[in-house]
Amino acid sequence: MNKNYKTLGIILLVVVALVVLAQLVSETPTDWNKNFSVSEKSPYGLYVFDKESNQLFNHKIKKIEVSPYSYYEENKETKPHNILLIEKNIDETSLDKILNQVSKGSDLMIVSEQIPEKIIDTLKVKQTDFNYSNDCMMYFTDEKLRSDSIIIEKNQNPAVFSKINFATTEILGDEYYDNKDEETLGSGAYFIKVKFGKGNVFLHSEPIVLTNYHLLKAENQKYIQDLFSFLPDRETIWFQKTYNETSSSPLRFIWANPPLRNAWLLFLGAVLVFILFNAKRRQRVVPIIEPLKNTSVDFIRSIGNLYMQEGDFHDMMAKKSQYFLSKVRTELLIDTQFLDEEFEKKLHLKTGKSPEMIKEAVVLIKKSLNPSSQVINEDLMTLNKVLNEILK
């Protein structure tokens, strides 16, 4: 093996070992982004809720990854059921389909920080930001469930419902906080129930209660059970997020693990460097091939010089005349059998040259085609000039 290849291999192994060692001793930073993804095990993912949802809904939950519009277009004859939306962007056409199901007797629960505008407008409620700098306790208004509260850390800034029509709306959950800095207390409705047609719409403005961070705390599990106990015990359709859930790439396992991802990128970089250096060292010299020279002009010049040296002006005039007449027949479509006045007239009309020039050309052509005529160099020069002028 080439010595350079051995050196490159040793350097590559040392770099890989250093990267692996750095990954082993370093701590993976925690992702605190609110992704609400069923495939994420980060604090604000829904991985645990997704795994426990079957038991939570008595094995009557149906997880759908198509839009509500597409689903209800394919399933037009549906019995009253529960509909669950968790922090999901949804188009107005799909919302119309959902509200149509609710009006027929289904129940809809939306758990989202920002309720869709169409729902807000249709139910005539209003959301307002609820800012607090200390921890907040969320509890149900039902006295039987009041003890099953949940504590939300400070600075979450959820939105609460500030405009409520009590004729059709019932407050199911309130938030309570103690603002120690201002020595004041505050509360806001975060969980409401609105009557709509034959069904009900439940709006919950704090989806982080369903995330891994809170579900893994044993004291919060009772709150989650109570939350979904407001829905009837029947089939529940959960329209899940469909973006960035599970990659279809065969490398998804590598990309999901930072050490493997870094090792893979390092490997690709090393292969690229190897290819570049190897290709540069082994590239063969490309020979320069001279293009073929056009010797037509040289050939014609040689033939012309030969005729001039021989002094056979009559033969050169005859060939020039024959070439000219051939061009007249093929390109101008004029019969050249008789070089008479009719021929001169047609040639004049086709070329637009003066009758005098045409007449002079015909006289010289006849002279060149007559074997017994005597020609000189000046006759050849004049014939060449006149014929070239006519053929322009």
Give per-residue pLDDT as tens, 83-123. Answer: 999 988 888 999 999 999 999 999 999 999 889 999 999 99
pLDDT over 50 (residue 243): no
pLDDT over 70 (residue 158): no
Mean per-residue pLDDT for 292-321?
Answer: 68
Mean per-residue pLDDT for 315-337?
Answer: 84
3-state secondary structure of 179: strand
d(Cα 386, Cα 388) in Å, to the nearest integer? 6
Please report how many Cα atoms fall inside a 13 Å half-sphere around the Cα of residue 10, on the Cβ side: 6
pLDDT at 196: 95
- Closest to 192 measured CA to CA, from 176, 204, 177, 175: 204
Structure tokens at 140: 């149900």
Give 132's DSSP letter.
-
Higher pLDDT, residue 309 or 149: 149
Mean per-residue pLDDT for 184-205?
Answer: 84
Q: Which residues contact 24 (CB under 8 A, 6 or more apart)?
A: 259
pLDDT over 70 (residue 220): yes
Higher pLDDT, residue 269 or 151: 151
pLDDT over 80 (residue 273): no
Q: Which of 41-55, 235-249, 320-334, 356-370 has the lowest mean pLDDT?
A: 235-249
Q: Which of 87-91, 254-258, 368-372 has the lowest mean pLDDT?
A: 254-258
